[in-house]
Amino acid sequence: QLRRLLVRHHFLSRGRSQRASDVTHHKYDVIVVGGGHAGTEAAAAATRIGAETLLITQKIETIGALSCNPSLGGVGKGQLVKEVDALDGLMGRAGDYAGVHFSILNRSKGPAVWGPRAQLDRVRYREFIQSQLLNMPRLTVIEGSVEDLIVSAPDPEQPGKHRVTGVHMAGGVGEILASSVVITTGTFLSGSLFMGQTTSPGGRMGEPPSCAGLSHSLREVLGLKLGRLRTGTPPRIIKDTIDFSLTKLHLPDPRPTPFSFINKHTHCKPEDQLPCHLTYTTPGVEDVVCESLHVNSHIQQDTKGPRYCPSIESRVLRFPGRQHQVWLEPEGLTSDLVYPQGLSMTMPPELQLRLLREIPALHRVEIRTPGYGVQYDFVCPMQLFPWLQVKYVQGLFLAGQINGTTGYEEAAAQGLWAGVNAGRTALSLPPLSLSRTESYIGVMIDDLVSRGVTEPYRMFTSRAEFRTSLRPDNADLRLTLRGFEEVGCVSSERYSEAVRVSRNLSEALTALQSFTLSAPRWREKMQYTGISEMKSTLISGEEMLQHKEVSFEMLASIFPDIFAQYMEFSQRIKIEAVYRPHCENQKREMERIQVEESLMLPPDLDYRSLPVSLSDEVREVLDRARPDTLGAAIRLPGVTPAAIVHLLNYVSKTK
Ligand code: FAD
């Protein structure tokens, strides 16, 4: 405890936070409103590219707070964390500092869809983010609430074109000017909290919503279309009141894999990692949900919630009679609390306790804080350019949950890119976009601005048509070089390391491609029977490596003069060699889709039972919209590129 206090003191004592009244009437390059995951990355990125930046947030102590689950990454989301890190963002390093249980999800599948994930210590995560932000040159942090935007009247030469020139602070503090403003108010914009039949204004439990002026400016003054979404969180339960003997133990990976490309190790030692536990709901849980519906206002609303992180009420109503998984996740190394993932709920607290106690492992559980729901305004993201600036409003950028997404990783990734572009605009540099072919961030932003959202958007690997090349292992090669050379948001140390890795990988692959032997020679050298069926032409080292059983270590031990010098990169070389043909195939598939856009889809196609691999969400969207052509299907929100490939193959075959 003492060590933790000393670390906290060390981190925060050098902090650069000021009082709001000290900075009014000052003009900044960039103002970032909100210190959540989007806001912190936006402020840090704007600062890294050289913009004088001000971060305004309601409470400095909640900078870097994890509002809901104490975890980071996962399938699709892990790719975003790696990309944020490759662009020198904070999230990956914070995860390495705060992680207490690291695992790679989807390991049975190929590395392209591996999902780096960690359970986090909440306090440590906040500590890390705050220590970074409060010690950053060119960044000032103040506590306060932004009441409204300063908007200049539309230019008569360019009707409808406004310019945002700063913010008005609440409480009569005054105004602060800036060339660019990034709004990242998360679940706080006109936020309302729900528990049982009680509704109260709030952005998160114990915190007030954003001032009404902000919603008013966005909607009435700037004429933006806003929508409403919802989400919820489970009760936090006391560890000592759980019977873990009735759960299934889930251990972390024995050797934790860091998120950050610049970390060789995680802060938590392998032997200090904490386990998670798995249990299941019972029919009694379903009974409590059904009995409590009339006193559960949140569930009675039509507002859309997160499809892939639904409340227990939604799960029970959608899939009656099913048993649902409940993961019991640690909240931190010294915390006495556990987060029951899968049990987000909004019924009255006494019924929450009754519901939990229907689960055998929780039969005597006690609750520290009850679950609740939140509803909030979001800005329909089709009103944004791909560089996250609002169309027709100069100087205004939006990032995070305000754009209709859900999740820390989605928020951080947008925040970083909005911060880069807000900074560039302020410094009179042209804005930049990320493409779908180079990053998951590009996929997400393109989905948001070109298709919009009808429910909270979260990242999946299936959303990325080029996912075999957008792998977690190669995010540095895809983004760090561009991040330094063109964007300017990457430090020279990180850049040098990425250049070294890139040079070694390409040298190793060239060496593998040019090293050839006949099949009998390979058989003799490697004692490997897997090539006995091979044709008699020469086989390269790269082709050998494409065999599952052949590792780079094997090649390096047999031909040390050529390959041993690259041993440091053995895993990455193996992945590159295995994926090269897949990446080329994927490119051809995408070209085929472009050519086949006008392919007619049979009007009587039964999407609900089509014998191809489509998610329930995609089937539902296709069934509702019944697109005439493949091109029309591609443009439907929620229909993934992978689904289009399956559809194309099916229709071509049955024609
Ligand atoms: P936030 O993290 O919400 O941060 C917003 C910040 O803006 C806050 O610091 C706030 O103080 C500040 N702010 C707001 N208004 C002003 C103002 N006017 N002036 C100054 N500062 C301001 N995600 C999931 O993936 N799965 C879930 O199940 C899930 N459940 C959730 C449940 C709840 C109850 C909540 C609150 C969130 C949940 N989330 C969930 C969402 C997750 O927390 C967000 O996706 C993520 O935190 C969004 O990051 P953000 O930076 O956009 O906003």
Distance CA 84, CA 281 (A): 36
Tokens encoding 114: 């591996």
At residue 310, the pLDDT reads 84
Tens digits of per-residue pLDDT, 106-142? 988 888 889 999 999 999 999 999 999 999 999 999 9
At residue 11, the pLDDT reads 42
CA neighbor of 549 nearest in space, from 528, 534, 533, 521:
528
Ligand 1 neighbourhood includes 400 CB (under 6 angstroms): yes
CA neighbor of 68 nearest in space, from 189, 197, 235, 185:
235
Residues in the chain with pLDDT values less than 70: 1-17, 155, 158-160, 529, 531-536
Q: How many A from CA of 67 to the centre of ligand 1?
A: 6
3-class SS of residue 396 = strand
Beta partners for 231? 374
> ipTM for the complex?
0.98
At residue 5, the pLDDT reads 42
Give DSSP secondary structure letters for 114-179: -EEEEEE-HHHHHHHHHHHHTT-TTEEEEE--EEEEEEEPPPTTSTT-EEEEEEEETTTTEEEEEE
Ligand 1 neighbourhood includes 468 CB (under 6 angstroms): no
Distance CA 142, CA 98 (A): 25
Tens digits of per-residue pLDDT, 212-237? 789 888 999 999 999 999 999 999 99
Q: How many whole angstroms from its chain centre is CA 601? A: 34
Distance CA 42, CA 400 (A): 10
Ligand 1 neighbourhood includes 375 CB (under 6 angstroms): no
Ligand 1 neighbourhood includes 185 CB (under 6 angstroms): yes
Q: Are 377 and 190 in contact (CB under 8 A)?
A: yes
Q: Which ranges of 433-569 does DSSP label H, i.e. alpha helix?
A: 440-451, 475, 481-482, 492-514, 519-526, 541-545, 552-558, 560-563
Helix (H) / strand (E) element for 83: namely helix 77-86
At residue 485, the pLDDT reads 97
Q: How many whole angstroms from its chain centre is CA 364? A: 35
The residue contributing the CA closest to ligand 1 atom 44 is 407
Mean pLDDT, the chain, rounded, equals: 91
Tokens encoding 637: 């929100």
Q: What are phi and psi of 347, to 5 degrees?
A: -75, 170
Nearest ligand 1 atom to alpha carbon 189: 15
3-class SS of residue 629 = strand
Radius of gyration of the chain (CA): 26
Helix (H) / strand (E) element for 55: namely strand 53-57
The residue written with tokens 């610049």 in the block is 262
Q: Are 151 and 222 in contact (CB under 8 A)?
A: yes
Tokens encoding 477: 């090669």
Nearest ligand 1 atom to alpha carbon 38: 51
Amino acid at 534: M
At residue 436, the pLDDT reads 87
Tokens encoding 142: 């103040």
Helix (H) / strand (E) element for 97: namely helix 91-98
Ligand 1 neighbourhood includes 233 CB (under 6 angstroms): yes
Q: How many A from CA of 597 to the centre of ligand 1?
A: 39
